[in-house]
Amino acid sequence: MNVLVVGGAGYIGSHCVRQLVAAGHRPIVLDNMVFGHRAAVDGSIPLYKGDLGDSDLVGQILIDEKIELVMHFAAFAYVGESVTDPLKYYFNNVVATLRLLETMISEGVTKFVFSSTCATFGVPQSMPITENLPQAPINPYGQTKLDIENALKSLAHAHGLSFAAFRYFNAAGAAEDASIGEAHDPESHLIPLAIDAALGRRPPLKVFGNDYPTPDGTCLRDYVHVDDLSRAHIAAFDKLETPGTGIFYNLGTGTPNSVLEVLNAVEKVSGKKVPYEMAERRAGDPPELYADSVKAKDELGWEIKYSTLEPIVASAWAWHHNCPRGYDDK
């Protein structure tokens, strides 16, 4: 299948491109390269530099490359920034995404896979988080994702769009061969921050809160390997053959790990100490967030290869060790 991967030069998108190739599909990448890296995409893969909201460009790609399905990984995703600059998030995550969908529908491309987030649930009412829990985002980032989820339902009804939306938890890790990995600027994810601290590239980490009602007092989160996420997305393709199909899946291992457990795993894998200091809680941080992914496993046959924390951290360590400057392409 010819698959347009929007945001395919970014962290999750680039890993999905590799998994698409492994599964026998033909990926084509569209990325504005604000956060993407040319080196994250194999030179044999067509890559168009441009914005998802550029209807003329997107329309031409859909025609020229005979696109059959579109995957969307091109959202802005810094929660804190979404609070201070909400317009940036609404223009990219909502307005530009709606233009992408409008262009798809006008060109007769009606299969769509959407990268959503567990942030649509806000502070969940119960754990683990199932797909049918109430959604009440507490920041503009989560709200923009929920806005698109709701738009997708309407487009499925009105235009026969078939879509799968994946709400995932803490994407982590790197490709098994350590050729691509996580290289955000600025970096906000715990595992690469801990690795950089262990390597002396940044000051000691701040651990926000050690008085939560959890086993060691620090927050619990669900870390899921980026390749496992990618395989789940591809497994949904067959579900989109029927026009108007709309499906939602939560993706996580279902086994949460604390902040201190992550730091301990980095120390074990790297053989280096992770310097850190305790700090006050951050406003809005729930004590625990973890997924119930039974639906994805039952309906998609999704199998988690990286079911525990240490192999996820080991893959991230291999990438950072092999590529200490990241992609070094900017």
Catalytic residue among 141, 168, 223, 249: 141
Check: CB of residue 249 under 8 Å from CB of residue 166. yes
- DSSP notation for 45-103: S-EEES-TT-HHHHHHHHHHTT--EEEE------HHHHHH-HHHHIIIIIIIHHHHHHH
Name the helix (H) or strand (E) containing 166: strand 162-168
Tokens standing for residue 325: 């400057």
Beta-carbon contacts of residue 235 (< 8 Å; ≥ 6 apart)? 300, 301, 302
| Encoded amino acid at 53, one letter | G
How far CA 245 is from CA of 67, 164, 274, 297, in Å, comes to: 19, 8, 47, 18
141 carries an active-site annotation: yes
| Secondary structure (DSSP) of 48-59 | EES-TT-HHHHH
What's the CA gap between 222 and 289, in Å, rounded?
Answer: 6
Give the C-alpha distances (Å, rounded to integers) separating 289 from 38, 252, 266.
Answer: 33, 10, 21
Distance (Å, whole) CA 223 – CA 286: 15
The Cα–Cα gap between 300 and 298 comes to 6
Distance (Å, whole) CA 289 – CA 178: 28
Q: Which residue has the tokens 């985002």?
A: 137
Do 324 and 31 touch, CB atoms closer than 8 A?
Answer: no
Looking at the annotation, which residues are catalytic? 141
